[in-house]
Amino acid sequence: MELKIYNINGSETGRTINLEDSIFAIEPNDHAIYLDVKQYLADNRQGTAKAKERSENAHSTRKLKRQKGTGGARSGDLKSPVFVGGGTIFGPKPRDYRFKLNVKVKRLARRSALTYKAKDGAITVVENFSFEAPKTKKMIEVLNNLKVGDKKSLVVLENQNNFVSLSARNLKNVKVVNASQLNTYDILNAASIVVCEGSFAEINRVLAVK
């Protein structure tokens, strides 16, 4: 697949770039995508939810009423789960939601996600750029010039660039990542992907079939 290369003013540079068919034009594997997204979301879960069980509740252990003769059901102390404020049965406990996923499956998922975006025409290639200082207004201008200002966008940089990252930090629908940090969830979550020209070398290196 061949794409035009634009500058930050939104004008064509007259140059094009060929996308690797082994990365941007494969037969997508939806199950690999599902597993990679599931792992990404699981890794981001805190897993700190906790409910007190009967033995952890701070209530008196005094029996509330006599066992027989009241006409009602038997009852123990206020820690019983049947009372308001009592212990929780099978409540959540702190846990780690992370799980292992093979590297080859993760690479396949990323290639599949990029293939979907390439087929949808959602990838825009721009010359490598930087700012002299963090400026949100400048970032908005660049995205508008590329005609993606009204879309949820993922900007893929060749290397870490603090000025560009800080310029997009306050924009709700814009996320900036390095090419080496590209993941399936971010690719699918964006309506438009703006890729700096120099990023493709790293993308090809990381996602190449091995």
The verdict on 164 and 108 lying in the same domain is yes
The total of structural domains in the chain comes to 2
My answer on whether 16 and 117 are in the same domain is yes
Q: Show the domain range for 61.
A: 48-96
CB-based burial of residue 102 (10 Å sphere; 0-12 exposed, 13-18 middle, 19+ buried)? exposed
Confidence of residue 209 (pLDDT cuts 50, 70, 90): confident
Say whether both 160 and 56 belong to one domain: no
Instruction: Report the chain's mean pLDDT, rounded to a whole number.
Output: 94
Mean pLDDT in residue range 44-56: 94
Q: 9 and 113, same structural domain?
A: yes
Verify that 82 and 102 share a domain, yes or no.
no
Q: How far, CA to CA in Å, does 191 sit from each of 30, 83, 186?
A: 18, 50, 10
Residues 103 and 91 in one domain: no
174 pLDDT exceeds 70? Answer: yes
Does residue 210 surpass a pLDDT of 70? no
Express each pLDDT in 97-136 by its tens digit: 999 999 999 999 999 999 999 999 999 999 999 999 999 9
Chain segment 175-203, per-residue pLDDT in tens:
999 999 999 999 999 999 999 999 999 99
Residues 125 and 198 reside in one and the same domain: yes
170 and 158, same domain (yes or no) = yes
Contact yes or no for 127/11 (Cβ under 8 A): no
- Both tokens of 88, joined, read 């929780």
CATH number of the domain bearing residue 25: 3.40.1370.10
- The full 3-state SS of 55-66, as one line of letters, equals HHCCCCCCCCCC
Percent helix, strand, coil in the chain, to 5, is 35, 15, 50
Here the tokens at position 115 are 């293939």
